[in-house]
Amino acid sequence: MNESYGNSRASSSSTTSSLNSSSHGTEDDHTIARILAEEEENALKYGGNKLGRRLSHLDSIPHTPRVIGEIPDPNDATLDHGRLSSRLATYGLAEMQIEGDGNCQFRALSDQLYHNPEYHKHVRKEVVKQLKRFRKLYEGYVPMRYKSYLRKMKRLGEWGDHVTLQAAADRFGVKICLVTSFRDNGYIDILPKDIQPSRELWLSFWSEVHYNSLYEIGEVPARVRRKKHWLFF
């Protein structure tokens, strides 16, 4: 009888613990959503779609999602970087330098979304969720087993590609404006599928090497690391 009572108490305790854990998880989700909404509002106040209005005359090419191509040799990479720098100067754009730790695409997206590159883990998580949930939209562009691709993209430090950019545009409902180092395709619009974009994110792409976050010349924010809420660590 005591054993039965003990088991009953253990079961009750386990159930209570599970409910508490679920409750805390829900509270954490709400907290994260609130924090990110505040950060996004601040980012909109800072920049909004001002770049898009000023550069609306640029001709873009249709975007085709693809995985990472061949890494250029040092000579070609140097030429590509020079071409990108010249293009940015012509457009009146400047880069906020993003850390080159393998997360640069997600850091640059985070900076544009939340005016803070340190939310890159959240951005990556949401992009992978999008890729997983809407597999049929993306798997045709991935030349490997799709589950392996998802496992790879979940890892911190794994380079993003043009498939993840499309998934980011779809997930966040934004237009991603990509100024590139490509010789012929200097400007690419990445539009969300089936919805009107709510805002524009501006990134530079040094082909197969690095992404940075773009601002008007003279408006690049100071690189002061802002604190994150502990839930994002």
Catalytic residues: 101, 104, 210
H or E element in which residue 109 lies:
helix 104-114
**Of 111, 75, 107, nearest in space to 221 by CA:** 111
**Of 145, 161, 135, 134, nearest in space to 63 by CA:** 161
> What is the distance between the alpha carbons of residues 12 and 16, in angstroms, rounded to a whole number?
6
User: 201 and 174 in contact (C-beta within 8 Å)?
Assistant: yes
Neighbours of 59 (CB within 10 A): 7
| Backbone φ and ψ of 214, nearest 5° | -105, 145
Report residue 231 as tokens: 């839930």
- Spatial CB neighbours of 54, under 8 Å, sequence gap ≥ 6: 92, 216
Neighbours of 205 (CB within 10 A): 22
